[in-house]
Structure 1
Amino acid sequence: MSERYLSPPRLTRGDTVALLTPASWAEDAWIAETAQRLTDWGWRVRLGGHVRNRLGYLAGSDADRLTDLHAAIRDPEVRAIVCAMGGCGSLRLVRVLDRDALRADPKPIVGFSDITALHLLWQRAGVVSLHGAVAGNRAETVRDLLLGGTPQVIAADRTQYGAELTTGGRATGWLVGGNLEMLARSVGVTEVPMAGHVLLLEINRAAGLGMVDRALTQLIDSGTLDGVTGVALGVLEGFDGYHDRGWNVLDVLSDRLGLLGVPILAGLPLGHTPNPVTVPLGVRCELDADAGTLRCGPALR
């Protein structure tokens, strides 16, 4: 286990899991389906008091979403937090979240995309979290990690769009990262020193290639990525076939990530995909670009 991060206790049958919407709202049917799956896995599900609230694209007001998150963090009966949806809104909460309470009673949070802002908060508190979702035919990777299982070795899919960005070499370090856009937006808000870390990146086409360029440039020029030992690159959702004045996203990533001079493993089934693999953040990992694998240590003790 890492000396830098606290590994929360593993869950057992009958433990309580909080199901929250700290960012955008989720359809009632999706909340019900996720709650049922968690119940089927043997856990008691506690819905956040405002889990079905709606305010524009947000799942209720900032105060209500913060109340639900704090209630879950501070309740010793809650042993894990599952986010039903990403979207937008997590970044609004990180400056006022109770990191001391989280570190005093470490528990994992599960989510991806916009939830990257909360993952960074968990890393700032020194607590392991889970990047992924209770979704698709790989949902049980969440269950296995929460039960204290060793994460599966993740093999890159060489047919996945962007897999050709893989270089060579091996890297070790703590795995940290998430959605590129959220990592860049978090600079100056909730930054995590990334020296000695392997950077996980997943990218969805919320905008054109300029967004990817600006986000990576901000992370590089701000010094956030100084000392990163490797890059684990997940799904490049929405970019296949997209070009802008002769370049595609692979050109942008090659140009920007090449400045880091570290091994890159691309084509990983992480992020915006119907069947994402869930991986722990804040654990030691080994990235082997030659073998095409990412191997992580256990998330929970």
Structure 2
Amino acid sequence: MEATMLEPRTLAPGDTVAIVSPASWPEDSVPGWIADQVESWGLRAVVAPHALDHRGYLAGTDADRIADLNNVIRDPAVRAVIASTGGCGSFRIAPLVDTDALRADPKLLVGYSDITALHCVWDAAGVPTLHGAIAGAHADHVRRLLMEGARTVVDADTRALSAELTTTGRVEGTLFGGNLEMLARSVGVVDLDLAGRIVLLEINRAAGLGIVDRALTQLRYSGALDGVAGVALGSIDQFADYEDRGWTILDTLRDHLNALGVPVLGGLPLGHIEDLVTLPLGTHAVLDVDHARLMVTAPTATDGV
């Protein structure tokens, strides 16, 4: 599905970026660190009132977390939203996001992992997002995505474990995806239509191979993966020494990905790694498996790949 994209405008110096915690609570220093980074780019940072609340593993009550998120969506001064962390809890508020306000005033969301639930909401509304974080070696690329309408070119690392699943071919389509388990759990909650799209998958070793298998099985049997154009596979190096009754993560993934019969590019520096590359979701992309490269258009301006 080539979704209609409502392009947020490119940020300019002085624009406001909001920092929210829609899932778990971050370490106390994190919102301030993010604010300092954003302000070093010439932007203004505001931290949502409940960003450091604690309620078990959640950053406060569902009512407070969705209030923070909807308030910044509805605030015309706020031009982008950064999730302070992932963890758990985004799905609890996903149905309550003010998508009418988001469509009326599109603004980018930055986050990954559990924030995949909100990427699904943004995508259903036709608004692109940024899958990643502002930390690490590629932080300046986030600035360029927000402020310069930059395109993203990601080269695969042939030494990475997931590179062993790379096939051949070249496909184009809208890029969308995120955390595998969160995508699977979105079935029946958010309209997840991946037909004709390049699917980004990042997998965190939070459980054994059976959880990976269940998630991919759910996505396949629900029809969510019917007609996908290709798969962009992030890091699975966390599973490097893990084996379950003779199978590795490669065996589990190969079983499902081969069944799709589409080009797969592994070895991409995406997911739960120290220096992940942030890239847009919901924009046009080229998955050039033969040259081990993923190219993604800008989320805020027309930019050919």
Q: What range is the shorter-chain TM-score in?
A: over 0.9
Alignment match, 2:90: 90
Counterpart in the other structure of 1:123: 123
* Cα shift at 1:60: 0.5
Aligned partner of 2:14: which letter?
Answer: G
Measure the CA separation in 2 of the matches of 1:101 and 1:28. Answer: 30
C-alpha contact 2:160 2:237 (8 A) present in aligned 1:
no
Q: Report what 2:267 is aligned to.
A: 267
Secondary structure, counterpart of 2:239 in structure 1: coil
Equivalent AA in structure 2 for residue 230 of structure 1 = G
Aligned to 1:179: 179
Rounded to whole Å, the distance in 2 between the matches of 1:221 and 1:180 is 15
5 Å matches for 1:137-156?
137-156=137-156
Structure 2 residue matching 1:137: 3-state secondary structure: coil
Match of 1:226 in 2: 226
Equivalents in 2 of 1:183, 1:251: separation in Å?
21
Letter in 1 for 2:18: A
- Distance (Å, rounded) in 2 between the aligned partners of 1:236 and 1:211: 14
What is the DSSP-based 3-state SS (H/G/I as helix, E as strand, rest coil) of the residue aligned with 1:183? helix
101-110 or 138-147, larger mean C-alpha shift: 138-147
Q: Distance in 2 between matches of 1:160 and 1:183?
A: 23
3-state SS of paired residue (2:219): helix
Q: What secondary structure does 2:203 align onto?
A: strand
What runs of 5+ residues in structure 1 fail to find an aligned partner?
none
Structure-2 separation of matches of 1:228 and 1:145: 26
Query: How much has 1:237 moved relative to structure 2?
Result: 4.8
| Deviation per residue, 1:204-244 (Å, 9 max, x gap) | 11110000000000000000011100000001152111000
Give the corresponding residue for 1:68: 68
Deviations 1:171-214 (A, max 9, x none): 11000000001001111001321111100000011110000000
**2:18 touches 2:47 (CA, 8 Å); kept in 1?**
yes
Q: Please give the secondary structure, in 2, of the residue aligned with 1:28.
A: coil
Partner in structure 2 of residue 136 of structure 1:
136
Unaligned segments of structure 2, at least 5 residues: none
Partner of 1:168, secondary structure, is coil
> How many percent identity over aligned positions?
55
Tell me the distance in 2 between the aligned counterparts of 1:224 and 1:256: 13
TM-score (norm 1): 0.98
| Conservation of the 8 A alpha-carbon contact between 1:204 and 1:237 | no
Q: Distance in 1 between matches of 2:3 and 2:218?
A: 29
What are the Cα deviations for residues 139-198 of structure 1, in whole angstroms up to 9, with x where unaligned?
Answer: 111111001332231000111122110000011100000000100111100132111110
